[in-house]
Structure 1
Amino acid sequence: MRTPEALRAPLRRLVERRAELFDVALAVVATAVEFGLVDSLRVPPIALTAAAGAALLLRRRHPMPVLAVTIAAAWACAALGEYPGGAPVLVALYTIAEERERRVSVVTAVPVAVFLQAASISSVPVTVGAWALGSYVQTRRRYVAALEERAAQLEREREQLDRIAARDERTAIARELHDIVAHSVTVMLLGVRGARDILPTEPAIAADTLRRVETTAEDSLAELRRMLTVLRDPARDAQLRPQPSLARLDALISGYRDTGMPLTLTVTGERRPLPGGIELSVYRIIEEALTNVLKHARPARVDVTLAFTPETLTVTIDDDGPSRPATPGGHGLTGMRERVIALGGDLTTGPRTGGGFTVTAALPIGNP
């Protein structure tokens, strides 16, 4: 008993050679039809009919020569007093309509139809029908090929969009991680250094500073845990603690003041709740700008200003510290710019005249 695997191989070979098998079957049928119309058993008509049928085996490779052979055989049979049906000729014409360009098949079909009608071999409607069937098959095949190409193109575009989305997602994750880690590590490092310096003389203050460092570390771990939850399972609710927003801005400012930064916060205009994405971005922009001040400058004054208008929120972080060069390989300003661009805003950064540095982000917030 043959196993299914043993039966599958012959079936696969049949599928691979189905076009050749179809051509053989078509040639046999056309030859049989033509033999049925031969009235006598004379050798010449039978040989001519067999030759025309055999030529059909080459119809895909050499359609024009095959058409010429079948026409010649039909004409010879008619000259011998037989009445061929022209089946091989019609198959050859069908092949030209299927394989060749429309203008070529039309130019070919006209004289063939005239010849078959004049020789009383086949009527014009039958000839036109054979040509129309081949033309339809060609149109259908091209339509299917166009659909397959379109599907392949859409698949390529989908894969490209997936890659772009994955890249954007990685960029967003990297930006968020940078903001969390850069801020918390900078604050903790300065706090630990300060506590170490005053520990011999002011142990109580050093202990209080270390408690704030501990709180900062716990907050950062909570943020990192939330992000890792999203990465592991995006469907889960990762809000282990609220996302940073302007409601927590006072606490952020207070934390930087605790490090000794001379910081003031000013809000102008009518302050109002904003979409979560805008509030998170504003919070992160201020956090990153203040972290840069903490790492690179020793200013006597740092001003954070939020200016609300009906259409725009302008965030300005201005310090009077010494000018500082851009950090090679740094991602802070890049992350801020990406956030602002994503919200359709504009970011301006650069040194101030007379010393200091200014970061200004103008974000569209629409009508209240």
Structure 2
Amino acid sequence: MAGRAGGLWDAWRARRELVDAAFLAPVAVLMALEWPAATASGPAHVADPLPYLGLSLLLLAPLVVRRRRPRTVFAVVAVVAFGQWLSGTPLAIADVAVLIAMYTVASCCTRWWGLAALLVTEAGCALEAARQYPGDWTRARGPFLFLGVVAVGIGLFGVYMRTRREHLAALEERAARLERERDTEVRMARSAERARIARELHDVVAHNVSVIVVQADGAAFAIDTDPARAKQALAAISGTGRLALTEMRRLLGVLREADDSGPFAPQPGVEQLADLADQIRRAGLPVAVRVEGTPRELPEGLQLTVFRIVQEALTNALKHAGPDASAEVVLGYGGDAVAVRVADDGRGAAAVSDGRGHGLVGMRERAAVYGGEVTAGPRPGGGFEVAVRVPVPAGVRA
């Protein structure tokens, strides 16, 4: 309901002419109240409706398009008001149109146009004060000062509204620019993480191919003298080849650009989590590592994914958890998936972040390679938790 009301309000505000016409309603009410009260003893322009209504229409009608043509509207209203002064017609309620038009110029145009409109309005105030007390400036000074101060106040308010509008527009533009920059940084971080994953998977595949070559050489050597051993070697080649093919498919899925850089060295896996925990402890964050379920062999690419996610989560905990915090890593082996949970008891939601890190983006990219998912956030009792669940390929499930 609130959203619908907000939409109606925005649609109404978009019709500037209707809004400006509606704002003239109070002036019309005051005119209706002025007319009967002055018909008996008031000026002739009030008692006779046609000149009064004609003058009011000439002054008020241009205001309907005042925000679309502010300078033109002010010029028209000023000319009409000057003609009113030349004809000796006294002020009427509709003369407030001069102040409204001057305010519009001050709020919608540059400061120089606003100053020019204010000077014209002040000149009109002086002419009106001189008309009321011809030749007696001492008595005319009071009305002039009153009208002049009112005009200056309205002009300053228009300048304030223009400045505020420009400030809000600058804030909106800055927010939009920061959002675009943030999206660009996220895309760049995602691309860099995918390139890094591709290099590491390239190493895994290269290792598997090396194993295949060694097993093939052994099978070729033993096929005549020890057929059973050769058969075992061929079975190992088959299994390793399937794993290598699976890793290669994932590699082709995340690789976005040719990048052969990176060392060809053994990559860490779940067995190196204990060494990683020792490094984090030496850096100042106590870490406990716990294994649930029955450990089993996992593809090297999957092990690397688990290791990198735990590494990133512990690094974040070391940076943001605060002093006297500790962390726990739980590695759970299930029937069809591996679950990882990294939790700390530090600051949690109160941790200060510069908003420029992309650790969670990298975690999600790595888990997505294997069809996994990552959830992260502050813990209800304090601290922060990262939970990951990655499916195990069907060929290596228990």
TM-score by length of 1: 0.52
Which structure is larger by alpha-carbon Rg, 1 or 2?
1
1:241 paired residue number: 270
Tell me what 2:122 maps to. Answer: 113
- Cα distance, 1:141–1:41 mapped onto 2, change above 3 Å: same
User: SS of the counterpart of 1:144?
Assistant: helix
**1:216 Cα deviation from its structure 2 partner:** 6.8
Residue of 55, 60, 73 corresponding to 1:48: 55
Is contact 2:107-2:159 (8 Å) kept?
yes
Following superposition, the deviation at residue 243 of structure 1 comes to 4.0
Write the distance in 2 (CA, Å) between the matches of 1:34 and 1:16.
Answer: 26
1:70 to 66, 74, 77: 77
5 Å-filtered alignment, 1:83-98, equals: 83-84=91-92, 86-98=95-107
Residue 149 of structure 1 is matched in structure 2 by: 173
- Asked whether the 8 Å contact 2:12–2:19 carries over to 1, the reply is no
Q: Which residue number in structure 2 is paired with residue 102 of structure 1?
A: 111
Cα distance in 1 for partners of 2:6, 2:185 equals: 39
Structure-2-length-normalised TM-score: 0.49
TM-fit CA distance, 1:206: 4.7
Asked whether 1:29 is paired with 2:29, we answer: no
Letter in 2 for 1:23: D
Answering whether residue 197 of structure 2 is matched by residue 188 of structure 1, we say no
CA–CA separation in structure 2 for the residues paired with 1:208 and 1:163: 46
Flag the 1:58–1:212 CA change in 2: closer, same or farther, 3 A. closer
Aligned-residue offset at 1:200: 0.7
Deviation track 1:151-170 (CA, whole Å, cap 9, x = no partner) reads: 11111111111111111121
Are residues 1:135 and 2:132 paired?
A: no
Deviation at 1:176, TM superposition (A): 1.5
Counterpart code for 1:80: G
**Partner of 1:325 in structure 2?**
none
Verify the 8 A CA contact 1:49 1:73 in the aligned structure 2: no
CA contact (8 A) 1:60 1:95 kept: yes
Q: Percent identical across equivalent pairs?
A: 31
Note the aligned Cα RMSD (angstroms).
4.2
**1:41: Cα distance to partner?**
2.0
CA distance in 1, matches of 2:165, 2:7: 27
CA contact (8 A) 1:97 1:135 kept: yes
2:10 and 2:172 map into 1 onto residues whose CA distance is: 24
Whole-angstrom distance in 2 between the partners of 1:160 and 1:19: 37
For 2:240 and 2:220, the matched residues in 1 are separated by 17
Q: 2:68 aligns with which of 61, 67, 84?
A: 61
Contact 2:62 2:76 in 1 (8 A): yes
What is the CA deviation profile of residues 299-329 of structure 1, one whole-angstrom value per residue up to 9, with x for unaligned ones? xxxxxxxxxxxxxxxxxxxxxxxxxxxxxxx
Equivalent residues of 1:113, 1:127 under 8 A apart: yes
Q: Is the 8 A contact 1:63 1:95 kept in 2?
A: yes
1:1-368 paired onto structure 2 within 5 Å: 11=8, 14-15=11-12, 17-33=14-30, 36=34, 39=42, 40-42=46-48, 43-78=50-85, 79-84=87-92, 86-120=95-129, 123-202=147-226, 206=230, 241-243=270-272
Q: What is the alpha-carbon distance in structure 2 between the residues aligned to residue 178 and residue 244 of structure 1?
A: 21
Q: Which moved more, 1:101-110 or 1:207-216?
A: 207-216
Alignment match, 1:327:
none
Give the whole-Å Cα distance in 1 for the aligned partners of 2:220 and 2:60: 102
- CA drift of 1:210 comes to 6.3
Q: How many Å separate the matches in 1 of 2:230 and 2:27?
A: 103
Q: Secondary structure at the match of 2:92?
A: coil
Amino acid at match of 2:121: V
C-alpha separation between the residues in 1 aligned to 2:212 and 2:61? 90
